[in-house]
Amino acid sequence: MKRRTYANTRSLLIRKLKRAGWLRRRDLDKEGIHPRWLRRLRDEGVIERVGAGLYRSTEAPDSTDQSLVEACAAVPEGVVCLTSALAYHDLTTANPSVIQMAIPRGHWRPKLTYPPIRFYEFRPRLMHLGLDVTRRPERGVIRVFNQERAICDAFRLRRIVGKDMALEALQTYVRRRSGRRLDPLLKMARATRVLHLVRPYVEALS
């Protein structure tokens, strides 16, 4: 194997950092790069530790989408949900300061200093229902529940989200559909067992 020099190893890590916004120790281990490089870049102020084996670029863009990317990187089994999913789809005017993330029931919760995450345990069968996976060019992956699932979860967990926000999201969704059939929403409502809650409002709005 070709021996890596200081210059080309550092250059490789900086390129990875610019593409993804973070570095993970397990990724470096797979490539045979010693973890001392993480300490070195941290001491140089290039990265900061945000969790076990997870390091964030100190120059990472401070945007909502980038925060979601970093949350999904830190919690590979997690999915952006509830108010955070509604905001991602522009279904609410709320701007949550904490990322709401669904994880499988009983799943390990990592302790992170950034980004701030509030976890909610979902049944395993609900983790893949309405899941959207979006790849941001050179930035990573966002796993988020789609519009229909986000609305249904808002009704299903209205004690957390608030009934007003659930109705706001539904109204925005119906208006955005502009006369098109609402079958995808009703199908999702049936699958998440909130059809009896959603359908009366859909009938009133359509």
Q: Is the pTM of this model over 0.75?
A: no
Residues 72 and 162 grouped into a single domain: yes
Within a domain: residue 1? no
How many domains would you assign to the chain? 2
Question: Of the candidates 63, 74, 64, which has an alpha carbon nearest to the alpha carbon of residue 103?
Answer: 74
pLDDT at 155: 98
Question: Is 159 strand, coil or helix?
Answer: helix
Highest mean pLDDT, choosing among 56-65, 88-97, 173-182, 185-194: 185-194
* Structure letter (DSSP) for residue 21: S
DSSP-derived letter for residue 53 is: T
**Is residue 98 one of the residues assigned to a domain?**
yes
Same-domain status, 137 and 93: yes
Residue 72 lies in a domain: yes
- Give me the sheet containing 22-24, strands edge to edge: 22-24, 54-57, 47-51
Given a cut of 50, whether residue 75 has pLDDT beyond it is yes
Q: Which of 15, 34, 57 represents a domain boundary (last residue)?
A: 57
Contacts of 112 (CB under 8 A, 6+ apart): 50, 51, 54, 74
- 50 lies in the same domain as 116: no
Whether 159 and 81 have beta carbons less than 8 Å apart is answered as no
The single-letter DSSP state of residue 128 is S
Statement: residue 10 has pLDDT above 70: yes
Residue 193 has pLDDT above 60, yes or no: yes
Residue 169 and residue 147 share a domain: yes
Q: Domain for residue 121, yes or no?
A: yes
- Does residue 53 sit in the same domain as residue 82? no
Are residues 199 and 126 part of one domain?
Answer: yes
Ranges 30-34, 49-53, 111-115, most confident: 30-34
Confidence class for position 62, pLDDT limits 50, 70, 90? low
pLDDT, position 52: 74
Instruction: Say whether both 186 and 98 belong to one domain.
Output: yes
Residues 41 and 68 in one domain: no
Residue 174 in domain: yes
Average pLDDT taken over every residue of the chain: 86
Same domain for 162 and 97: yes
pLDDT per residue as tens digits for the range 13-41:
888 777 666 787 887 888 888 888 888 88
Confidence of residue 63 (pLDDT cuts 50, 70, 90): low
Co-location of 98 and 161 in the same domain: yes
Confidence (pLDDT) at 1: 42
111 and 75 in a single domain? The answer is yes
Domain boundaries, position 37: 6-57
Residue 195 resides in a domain: yes
**How large a percentage of the chain has pLDDT more than 90?**
47
Do 11 and 81 share a structural domain? no
Closest CA to 85 of 164, 170, 146, 162: 146
Residue 127 has pLDDT above 50, yes or no: yes
